[in-house]
């Protein structure tokens, strides 16, 4: 009986880990989308001032546009890295959960997107 309870606990913990990782990805993606909106607003802002108001925590500070853009772009790069790491880790977590449950490995789940260099090579081959 203890073995069954221990097994069910391990499966539940693995499932909770998968769900937590998925939620982290959603939260980071939401933040990434807000950063995109901010970058777009900086591009389309019509005022001639070279300072913009930026919210840090619960206060607004006037900051140069160029520095603001740099900070947001660095944040975007960090978010991209974190999201990619979480997605790669999620694949192994889901496979581990399926293995624990006795389910077969999800087919096609380990596919990865083409890199920029691979896309350029494909475009040059197909003359796109």
**106: DSSP letter:** P
- What is the pLDDT at residue 25? 96
Give me the domain span that covers residue 85.
2-101
Q: What is the CATH number of the domain that holds 44?
A: 1.10.287.370
For tokens 């500070």, the residue is: 61
Domain for residue 85, yes or no? yes
3-state DSSP assignment of residue 48:
coil
Please report how many Cα atoms fall inside a 13 Å half-sphere around the Cα of residue 12, on the Cβ side.
Answer: 6
Q: Where is 51: in which H helix or E strand?
A: strand 51-56
Partner residues linked to 61 by β-bridges:
54
- What is the pLDDT at residue 70? 93
Say what the pTM is.
0.74
Domain for residue 109, yes or no? no
Q: Where is 45: in which H helix or E strand?
A: none
Domain for residue 118, yes or no? no
Domain for residue 114, yes or no? no
**113: DSSP letter:** P
Domain for residue 21, yes or no? yes
Domain for residue 112, yes or no? no
Residue 5 Cα distances to 1, 50, 102, angstroms: 6, 63, 17
Domain for residue 80, yes or no? yes
Q: For 13-66, write each residue's pLDDT tens digit.
A: 999 999 999 999 999 999 999 999 999 988 887 666 788 888 888 999 998 888
Number of domains in the chain: 1
Residue 41 class from Cβ within 10 Å (0-12 exposed, 13-18 middle, 19+ buried)? exposed
Domain for residue 50, yes or no? yes
């Amino acid at each position: 009986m203890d073995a069954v309870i221990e097994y069910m606990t391990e499966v539940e913990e693995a499932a909770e880990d998968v769900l937590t990782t998925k939620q982290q990805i959603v939260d980071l993606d939401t933040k990434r989308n807000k950063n995109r909106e901010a970058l777009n607003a900086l591009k389309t802002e019509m005022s001639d001032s070279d300072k913009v108001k930026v919210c840090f925590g619960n206060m607004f500070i006037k900051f140069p546009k160029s520095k603001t853009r740099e900070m947001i772009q660095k944040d975007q790069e960090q978010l991209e890295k974190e999201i990619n790491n979480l997605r790669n880790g999620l694949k192994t977590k889901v496979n581990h959960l399926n293995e624990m449950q006795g389910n077969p490995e999800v087919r096609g789940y380990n596919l990865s997107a083409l890199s920029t260099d691979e896309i350029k090579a494909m475009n040059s081959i197909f003359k796109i």
